[in-house]
Amino acid sequence: MSTLVEQLIQTEAHQSIFESAVRQLPLPVCAAFGSSSSPQPVSFKNTGRVLSTKDSDAVRAQFPQSVAASNNIVLTSSGSNPATVQGKRVAVLFSGGPAAGGHNVVCGLKRVLGAGNTLLGVRAGPKGLLKGSLFEITEANVDFILNTGGFDFLGSDRTKIKSDEQFAQVRETCIKHQLDAIVVVGGDDSNTNAAVLAESLFTGVKADGSGVQVIGVPKTIDGDLQIGDLLSISFGFDTATRIYSEMVGNILQDTSSSLKYWHFVKLMGRSASHVALEVALQTKPAITLISEEIAANQESLASIIDRVARVIVERSHRGMNYGVLLAPEGLIEFIPEMNAMIAELNDVLAHHAADFAAQADDAKPAFVGSRLSPENASLLASLPHYIVNMLLAERDSHGNLQVSLIPTEQLLIDMARQRVRELDANVPFAAHSHFLGYEGRCGAPTLFDAAYTYNLGLTAGSLILDGRTGYMATITGLASGGTPQAIPLAGLLNIERRHGKNEFVIEKALVKMDSPAMQYFVSRREAWAASDLFASPGPRQFWGPTTDQLPISVALNSGADALMFKIG
Ligand code: FBP
């Protein structure tokens, strides 16, 4: 019998009672893969469904080999197994922000590649691919990481592979490690990178003139990688929104207990408001701002603040000097006057990068302001320094404004306070700000994310064994058994302006005003503002009644008749 201290020491290094138990959770697989105890690879056939965008001609010219091979046609599992393939060497990497379920993609890959092929992990994302930092993944690794994390098994980064020198480094890595295929687990930008890599490695990498296959896997907590019925959600969204919903539910419970605070909560999700919308559907707070609606209505900052302040005042008049406001991380970019200013700001920063970098920090706002149009310069000058500093901060390697660093929640509190005072000086307004983001990206995956990612890994591995390249793995029909399918990456590419120039990118999927999830939210939000109808969804469950739950927005948007997912 060990002592309590000995038992506690045994829980170190990912051996908590919880981690040990979730490793044992059985995972369902789509019927196409056969039995869950011994899933088999599937082969693929054309569905006849062709994907196109407004820029398809330009894409065809830039990605000739990928488009010629796929004709941008979606693939579906054929119902048969591919001929046995042995000796393939496949590398897998995580790219961009972490998301729960990444480890299960690795596990699914390992299972489907079987003992006859080798799976290698790339350390620290695309940067590790450039450096050739790879190691062989073992059965013991897979048993240990199943249903856990995060991306901590491999690590991740945001390096964008774009220069000739970087492409040469990738080729060097492929040759050094004798790679046959690379799996990129990432969001819209990373899957764009996968499309570019697939074209660049299409032929002429190995001595016999053949190429290296590249397959993408759709990840991001933001939920902004969605492709209609072909991809109803990226993995990681469910886990992150359930963690945030638990926390927001707890805060809501606190507001109606202590009766004196407003809590302004900014939720991660980058540009899109999917996370904020999902958390609102789960928790029903008094106010939720949806960036896409603000852009669609061309609503000014002053009007947003007025709208918020009026709810605060009206609730106060009903005896509720408390409440919760949810704001999406990317809000600021969608307010029309801000959006126009940020677009000009991005061009100025891209065109004067060296001179800007040479300025002292306190001289930077004036340097940029003098190069903006008068109205944008005066808007920039009107903003508090904590917002200006972040608007001028370095963009990420994909050219994105780092919205997670912008304290929008504080700006909203400061401006709402002033407007509340103007509307009714007797209304008390004590507010706290929160930013929920990093807390939700690496929790143990919900059963939905765990099963979804395991099946995505099985699909990605099957595509490799079936000789495919330039596709993103997907599972369709998530509420009706699940079907492994493949989306041609080149069929998703559009031209967008980034870093002050045109680039091929996969368009971010934003919240649609006419989507069933948005419509339902709109139909209920006035009631949620007027009285306390909030719900506390509690912690995500791994055993119990909510284990098989789908995100509410995904269930509504995909026309499901219940909140449950069904794989297998
Ligand atoms: P991905 O799009 O790469 O999945 O990133 C998601 C995200 O969590 C965003 O919601 C957030 O804006 C960003 O990453 C934060 O980035 P970082 O981890 O570099 O601070």
532 is catalytic: no
CA of 135 to the centre of ligand 1 (A): 26
What is the per-residue pLDDT for 402?
83
Q: What is the pLDDT along the chain (568 residues), one digit of tens a residue?
A: 799 999 999 999 999 999 999 999 999 999 999 999 999 999 999 999 999 999 999 999 999 999 999 999 999 999 888 889 999 999 999 999 999 999 999 999 999 999 999 999 999 999 999 999 999 999 999 999 999 989 999 999 999 999 999 999 999 999 999 999 999 999 999 999 999 999 999 999 999 999 999 999 999 999 999 999 999 999 999 999 999 999 999 999 999 999 999 999 999 999 999 999 999 999 999 999 999 999 999 999 999 999 999 999 999 999 999 999 999 999 999 999 999 999 899 889 888 989 999 999 999 999 999 999 999 999 999 998 999 998 998 887 767 788 888 899 999 999 999 999 999 999 999 999 999 999 999 999 999 999 999 999 999 999 999 999 999 999 999 999 999 999 999 999 999 987 668 899 999 999 999 999 999 999 999 999 999 999 999 999 999 999 999 999 999 999 999 999 999 9
Q: What domains, with CATH codes, occur in the chain?
A: 27-235+445-506 (3.40.50.450), 237-329+406-441+510-537 (3.40.50.460), 332-403 (1.10.10.480)
* Backbone CA torsion sign across 161, 164, 166, 171: positive
What is the per-residue pLDDT for 394?
85
What is the per-residue pLDDT for 31?
97
Amino acid at 454: Y
DSSP sequence for 523-541:
HHHHHHHHS-------S--
Hey, which residues does 487 pair with through a beta bridge? 472
What is the per-residue pLDDT for 48?
96
The 10 Å Cβ neighbour count of residue 548 is 18
Strands 156-157 and 44-50: unpaired
Joined together, the tokens standing for residue 489 give: 């990456």
Rounded Cα–Cα distance for residues 419 and 308 (Å): 9
Q: What are the distances in angstroms from CA 5 to CA 9, 19, 21, 247, 373? A: 6, 19, 20, 31, 66
Residue the block writes with tokens 């013991």: 140
Query: Contact at 8 Å (CB) between 94 and 151?
Result: yes
Protein residue with least CA distance to atom 4, ligand 1: 220
The 10 Å Cβ neighbour count of residue 286 is 26
* Backbone CA torsion sign across 90, 94, 95, 99: positive
Strands 134-136 and 118-122: antiparallel
Query: Contact at 8 Å (CB) between 349 and 391?
Result: no
CA of 270 to the centre of ligand 1 (A): 7
Helix (H) or strand (E) holding 282: helix 274-283
What is the per-residue pLDDT for 83?
86
- Could you read off the pLDDT of 490-509 as tens digits, one per residue? 999 999 987 668 899 999 99
CA of 97 to the centre of ligand 1 (A): 4
Helix (H) or strand (E) holding 93: strand 89-95
First to last CA, the chain: 42
Closest approach atom of ligand 1 to CA 190: 3
Query: Contact at 8 Å (CB) between 22 and 540?
Result: no
Closest approach atom of ligand 1 to CA 402: 12
Rounded Cα–Cα distance for residues 247 and 238 (Å): 14
What is the per-residue pLDDT for 192?
96
Please list the helix, strand and coil fractions of the chain in percent, rounded to the nearest 5, in that order: 45, 15, 40
What is the per-residue pLDDT for 398?
66
Rounded Cα–Cα distance for residues 112 and 83 (Å): 13
432 dihedral zone (left: phi>0; alpha: psi -120 to 50; beta): beta
Rounded Cα–Cα distance for residues 251 and 271 (Å): 24
Query: Active site residue: 180, 188, 189, 222, which one?
Result: 222
Query: Going by C-beta distance under 8 Å and a sequence separation of 6 or more, which residues neighbour residue 297?
Result: none
Rounded Cα–Cα distance for residues 150 and 152 (Å): 6
Q: Where are the alpha helices (DSSP H) in 383-446?
A: 385-391, 408-423
Rounded Cα–Cα distance for residues 430 and 321 (Å): 9
Output the ligand 1 site: residues, CB below 6 A.
96-97, 99, 187, 220-222, 268-270, 329, 403-404, 441
pTM: 0.95
What is the per-residue pLDDT for 275?
98
**Coil, helix or strand at residue 516:** helix
Cα–Cα nearest to 221, from 293, 161, 156 = 156
